[in-house]
Chain A
Amino acid sequence: MSVHTLAVRCRNIVKVYETGGQKVTALDGIDLDIATGELMMLVGPSGCGKTTLISVIAGILDQDEGSCEVFGKDLAAMSDQKKLAFRASHIGFVFQAFNLLPSLTATENVSVPLLINGVKRVEAERRANSILEEVGLGDRTTSLPAQLSGGQQQRVAIARALIHDPGLIVCDEPTSALDHETGHTIMQLLKSTVLQANRALVIVTHDSRIFDFADRTAKMDDGRILKIM
């Protein structure tokens, strides 16, 4: 761990939602450090605050109290514009429902983060094809999401999360929509290809079948981290 730098540093994160006049504390004083080269899993029952926590870590939700630094930058202190730019260049996303754009081919879907970062379309698609090759979908570059299996769609989503070489990748239930074997393959891909010395991986999951892939696991309940294993 000593050779690795700190990717995420959360201190006393509090997030309260107000729904129907009632206050619900989603995060209640979270402290968490995640280093580069580390695969951190956030586990716990539904409603325990896992998704809220990765939303805060990924800079798409602001906490009410505390600080969350990603690569030394306090996202809550950034302007919206800077936060967008930071997210576009430093963070990759893998979603439970894949969230691929249905009318775009695999290549086009994967090239989206590069386009957001201002890379020319031709170059973006060239790099997208190359990374699709890496995740084993070199022969499906022109397929639409609807023409791909669940596992293939998740590979496209992983390629999309990787293409702009972000330092932090957040994955929300990446295997829960997949069968056991495909989920296992996806986790192997994440561990072998995605996880690197200069990159941290945070995975939110309920799926106990993949717990073994984690370097560390933070068990959450009622908006708190109960223990880190």
Chain B
Amino acid sequence: MYHIALKMLTGDRGKYLGIIMGLTFASLIMTQQPAIFLGLMTRTYSFITDVSLPDIWVMDSKVQFVDDIKPLQDTELYRVRGVSGVEWATPMYKGLLRARLANGTFQSCFVVGLDDATLIGGPPIMLEGNIEDLRRSDGVIVDIDGVRDKLTRPSREPGGKSVPIKVGDSLEVNDHRAVVVGIAKISRTFQAQPIIYTTYSRAKSYAPRERKLLSFILVKAKSGQDFSMLTRRIRESTGLAAYTRQEFMDLTYDYFMKNTGIPINFGISVLLGFMVGAAIAGQTFYNFTLDNLRQFGVLKAMGTSNRTLLKMILLQAILVGSIGYGLGVGSTALFGYFMHDTILAFKFTWQLLIFSGVGIGLICIFAAVISILKVIRLEPAVVFKS
């Protein structure tokens, strides 16, 4: 009987495609919008993700997220180095400074100062140049997205396209000369400002004169150390905040979740998408069953049990659900693929696949249950009505 169910489903191509389209749309909107949301939220802590070597980040206890810089005195570095279980600790400067471009315009950039000796905390992928080139006079490394989007030189021809700066070009950071010695690929950040890497001492010279300029202390734990115990020891002996990489990412993520309108805006969008998708798909599937009610009545009159009819309807629902889900998720994946190198934030995780799968499953079950009730209540004598 199952092939009859499938033929009933696919027999009317228009309706069949209508149901598939509805479910595809529902699945697409249930995955695409959350994927953008996740991508955006991932960017909030992407700077932490890119700095992979240290186990623990130490900072002022009032820091709420990665860009909420509350500088420390340099002496704090030595106090942290003195905590038992610390293998090494290096300083990091992070601050928003003004860079003056060749055309005279100013652009705010995040300047990241790395430990002069080890250069720990540098960009994950070097596209041009080498991280050691930072030791050259006035050397800075800029991120490729910043180079393409915001750190460009005006064209020599009037009205021409601006030209991205390249290795060897110079710019001014807070009135100090800086020479581009490398271009790096880093994860895009939420703030979308260009990132300029340099040494810690040079970054301090770029920064406005302040008594405190140390943003973070990056700590590597000794082998076999329990991270939570070590962070506790650092907190107790220095009075500073100490987080593992994951804890710092969670802190940043939670800050944006609680203090920005992003989750609620995307939540509404996803909810509306789910409701619209559910309404379209559910209504179309229900209408399909209603249209076929007489056929179900004929089968019932000829001796088909309600149980078999239920299985037939469930099979139809599972088939359209699977196809719609596959097409929707596939469309989202394609969307992500084509947006890969653009500014659009996008992160498609396996959890989203499950979320949308459950969503589509619920829509199909809901539509199937309503349809099934109609078929169960159907009086087979309806077949004698002309």
B302's partner among A102, A116, A121 (CB-CB below 8 A) is A116
**A54-66 interface bits toward B, Cβ cutoff 8 Å, 1 = contact, 0 = none:** 1100101100000
Cα of A101 to Cα of B384 in the assembled complex, Å: 15
Distance, CA A121 to CA B302, complexed state (A): 17
B160 within 8 Å of A (CB atoms): no
A26 to B168, CA, bound (A): 99
CB-CB < 8 A to B10: which residues of A? 103
B4 at the A/B interface (Cβ < 8 Å)?
A: yes
A165 to B294, CA, bound (A): 24
A104 touches B386 (CB 8 A): no
Residues of chain A lying within 8 A (CB to CB) of residue B1:
115-116
CB distance from B353 to the nearest CB of A (A): 33
Interface size class of B (residues with CB under 8 A): 20 to 34
Is B301 engaged at the interface, CB distance under 8 Å to the other chain?
Answer: yes
**Which residues of chain A are within 8 angstroms of B385 by Cβ–Cβ distance?**
51
Q: How far is the CA of A173 from the CA of B386 in the complex (A)?
A: 9
Take A99-B298, A101-B295, A113-B303 as given contacts and tell me if A54 and B384 are in contact as well, using a CB distance cutoff of 8 Å: yes
Q: Which of A54, A58, A85, A176 has the most CB of B within 10 A?
A: A58
Of B4, B301, B305, B379, which contacts A93 at CB under 8 A? B301
Partner of A104, one of B7, B303, B304, B305: B7
CA distance A99 to B381 in the complex (A): 13
**Interface residue count on the A side (C-beta < 8 Å):** 34
CB neighbours (8 Å) of B302 from chain A are: 87-88, 93, 112-113, 116
CB-nearest residue of chain A to B301: A60
Contacts of A177 in B (CB 8 A): 386
Asked whether A104 and B384 contact (CB < 8 A) given A84-B305, A116-B304, the answer is no
Interface residues of B in 357-386 (CB under 8 A from A): 379-381, 383-386
The answer on a CB contact under 8 Å between B8 and A103 is yes
CB pair A93 B8 closer than 8 Å? no
**Contact indicator per residue, chain B 6-27, by CB within 8 Å of chain A (1) or not (0):** 0110111000000000000000
Select from chain B the residue with minimum beta-carbon distance to A160. B302
Contacts of A213 in B (CB 8 A): none
The answer to whether B211 has its CB under 8 Å from any CB of chain A is no
Which one of A58, A60, A86, A103 contacts B11 once the chains associate, using CB atoms below 8 Å? A103
Q: Find out whether the CB atom of A103 lies under 8 angstroms from the CB atom of B301.
A: no
Cross-chain pair count, CB within 8 angstroms: 78
* Set of chain B residues within 8 Å of A85, measured between Cβ atoms: 303
Q: How far is the CA of A91 from the CA of B379 in the complex (A)?
A: 17
Tell me the bound Cα distance from A177 to B295 in angstroms: 19
Smallest CB gap from B1: residue in A = A115
Provide the residues of chain B in CB contact with A87, threshold 8 Å: 301-303
Across the interface, which residues of A come within 8 angstroms of B298, CB to CB?
A: 93, 95, 99, 101
Decide if B3 is an interface residue (CB 8 Å cutoff).
yes
Q: Does B36 contact A (CB under 8 A)?
A: no
Q: Which residue on chain B has the smallest CB distance to residue A101?
A: B295
Inter-chain contact B303/A95, CB cutoff 8 Å: no
Q: Report the Cα distance A61→B378, complex, angstroms.
A: 12
Type the 1/0 row for A26-65, where 1 means its CB is closer than 8 Å to any CB of B.
Answer: 0000000000000000000000000100110010110000
* Cβ contact within 8 Å between B4 and A95: no
How far is the CB of B39 from the nearest CB of chain A, in Å?
43
Nearest A residue to B380, CB-CB? A60
Neighbour of A103 across the interface among B12, B305, B308, B381, CB < 8 A: B12
Q: A173 — which chain B residues lie within 8 A by C-beta? A: 386
The reply to whether the CB of B102 lies closer than 8 angstroms to some CB of chain A is no
A104: nearest chain-B partner, CB-CB: B7
Q: Is the Cβ of B4 less than 8 Å from the Cβ of A55?
A: no
Check: B63 CB closer than 8 A to any chain A CB: no
Specify the chain B residue showing the minimal Cβ separation from A55.
B381
Q: Give the contacting residue for B386; candidates A91, A97, A103; CB below 8 A.
A: A97
B11–A102 CB distance below 8 A: yes
- Contacts A96-B386, A116-B302; A104 near B4 (Cβ below 8 A): yes
- A95 near B304 with CB under 8 A, answer no
The answer to whether B303 touches A116, judged by C-beta atoms less than 8 angstroms apart, is: yes
Asked if A108 and B303 sit within 8 Å, CB to CB, the answer is no
Given A101-B298, A103-B12, do A51 and B384 touch, yes or no (CB 8 Å)? Answer: yes
Q: Which residues of B contact A54 (CB under 8 A)?
A: 384
Are B303 and A99 within 8 A (Cβ)? Answer: no
Q: Are B301 and A58 in contact (CB under 8 A)?
A: yes
Q: How far is the CA of A55 from the CA of B295 in the complex (A)?
A: 17
The chain A residues found within 8 Å of chain B, CB to CB, are 51, 54-55, 58, 60-61, 81, 84-89, 91, 93, 95-97, 99, 101-104, 108, 112-113, 115-117, 121, 172-173, 176-177
Which residues of chain B have a CB within 8 Å of any CB of chain A?
1, 3-4, 7-8, 10-12, 294-295, 298-299, 301-305, 308, 379-381, 383-386
Offer 6 A-B interface pairs, CB within 8 angstroms, sorted by A. A84-B305, A102-B295, A104-B7, A116-B299, A117-B303, A173-B386
Known: A58-B301, A84-B305. 13 other contacts (CB 8 A): A51-B381, A61-B381, A87-B303, A88-B303, A93-B302, A95-B384, A99-B294, A99-B383, A101-B295, A104-B4, A116-B299, A117-B303, A121-B3
Closest 10 CB pairs of A and B: A103-B11, A88-B303, A87-B303, A60-B380, A55-B381, A99-B298, A103-B7, A96-B386, A51-B384, A172-B384
